[in-house]
Chain A
């Protein structure tokens, strides 16, 4: 079973701090990785995707991928209370773009 693993949290950070969310995956064939944000009672919303080793920045968000270590992370700079949500890590596998999700990490940003 190809898996994507995350710590369920909650991860609590003070407002203005950097939140660091981590994810590991078991399928070495995975090429693409995604971070989704899910507010309580809402559907997942894509915030970042990354294909290549290294960092990808988009505003306050930075995704990091290390394929050798099978590790993906998401950094949120200047965390805001509105960032409080569950962050789902997902990876694709196979040639048909099958996307497997982790359990999600609940982030709480404390004002």
Chain B
């Protein structure tokens, strides 16, 4: 079974530029998560999708971050404009339907904003 796929693996951008990350979850997983992990901290949930609907985006900085999950499969996370404090690893994870909530993570995208 293929795991969670993310791209790109690394990205360096200047502040005020925009960037987009892509995630393809494990086949059949209805729940998709985007986490931000700053060095030395635990993953922080940015947004959670159930199929193609948003169920939690309370910690997503909506003035600069946006995410979508069209057709309930793959997802993109966008930052526009980026700030220095957005430098982090962006992790995508997916989990199966209710009853099996454990999440499986992709390899992440390491973003550096300079």
Residues of A within 8 A of B (CB): 4, 6, 8, 32, 34, 42-46, 49, 88, 92, 94-104
B56 touches A99 (CB 8 A): no
- Interface assignment of B7: CB less than 8 Å from any CB of chain A: no
- The segment from B67-75, B78-86, B105-113 that touches chain A is B105-113
- Interface assignment of B42: CB less than 8 Å from any CB of chain A: yes
B43 touches A88 (CB 8 A): yes
**Chain B contacts for A34, CB-based, 8 A:** 102-103
Contacts A32-B101, A43-B105, A103-B41: A98 and B91 contacting too (C-beta < 8 A)? Answer: no
A97 touches B98 (CB 8 A): yes
Closest beta carbon of chain B to A107's beta carbon, Å = 15
17 cross-chain CB contacts under 8 A? A32-B101, A34-B102, A43-B108, A44-B43, A44-B105, A88-B43, A94-B56, A95-B98, A96-B50, A97-B98, A98-B45, A99-B103, A101-B42, A101-B43, A101-B45, A104-B41, A104-B42
- Which residue of B104, B107, B108 contacts A46 across the interface (Cβ within 8 Å)? B104
- Interface assignment of B33: CB less than 8 Å from any CB of chain A: yes
- Which residue of B42, B56, B106 contacts A98 across the interface (Cβ within 8 Å)? B56
- Interface assignment of B31: CB less than 8 Å from any CB of chain A: yes
| B35-66 with Cβ < 8 A to chain A | 35, 40-45, 48, 50, 55-56
- Which residue of A32, A88, A100 contacts B45 across the interface (Cβ within 8 Å)? A100
**Chain A contacts for B24, CB-based, 8 A:** none
B30 to A, closest residue via Cβ: A97
A88 to B105, CA, bound (A): 13
A43 to B34, CA, bound (A): 13
A95 to B, closest residue via Cβ: B98
- Which residue of B43, B56, B89, B102 contacts A96 across the interface (Cβ within 8 Å)? B56
Contacts A96-B48, A98-B48, A100-B45: A43 and B106 contacting too (C-beta < 8 A)? Answer: yes
- Interface assignment of B87: CB less than 8 Å from any CB of chain A: no
